[in-house]
Amino acid sequence: MIFWVETNSQNRKQQNMLDRRASLLANKNLVAKIPIKQLLSRTRNIVEFGRLVREDHAVKNRKNP
């Protein structure tokens, strides 16, 4: 398994993509029961958590000089 730390621009790109996807879903009323703000924050939290985990692993896997 490969872990990496994302740069800010990569993270922003991915976040924009998720935001777009979430709003498209909301517009299609597939997730009508979940308010759009809640949906966006949920996807953002998942991404953020994944990023933190990857950073943690990256730090652990870095060899000591």
pTM of the predicted model over 0.75: no
pLDDT by 10s per residue, the chain, length 65: 555 555 666 667 777 777 777 666 666 655 556 666 666 666 666 666 666 666 666 666 666 54
Task: Give the long-range contacts of residues 59-62, CB within 8 A, separation 24 or more.
Answer: 61/3
Q: Please state, in angstroms and rounded to a whole number, the distance separating the CA atoms of residues 15 and 45.
A: 10
Would you state the pLDDT for residue 65?
Answer: 46
